[in-house]
Amino acid sequence: MGRLIGDGMYLMIADIVVAPTYQKKGIGSRIINMLIGYADRELSDGGRASIQLIAEKGKEPFYEKFGFKIIPHEFCGSGMRKVIRK
């Protein structure tokens, strides 16, 4: 499963989950391509969208294959998050 959330201009891939027995079969790649394709289809001509994610440690090379860049880089600062628990 995969989950893409956002407002059309800024999108976040919140989850990519493939059961361990089905990993390494191209399912995760297909999910990523479907989410990117959806964002592209919904973007109006001349529009711009930013898709962001937080990769699990060690999984960065998987996302780099799809054009994602590790933050920070020349245009963006550090990726950050805050978790609140009750």
pTM of the model: 0.86
Domain edges within the chain: 2-64
Fold of 2-64: Aminopeptidase (3.40.630)
Residues 6 or more apart whose CB falls under 8 angstroms from that of 58 comprise none
Alpha carbon distance 40, 49 (integer Å): 8
For 64-86, write each residue's pLDDT tens digit.
999 999 988 888 888 887 888 88
SS3 59: coil
For 27-54, write each residue's pLDDT tens digit.
999 999 999 999 999 999 999 999 999 9
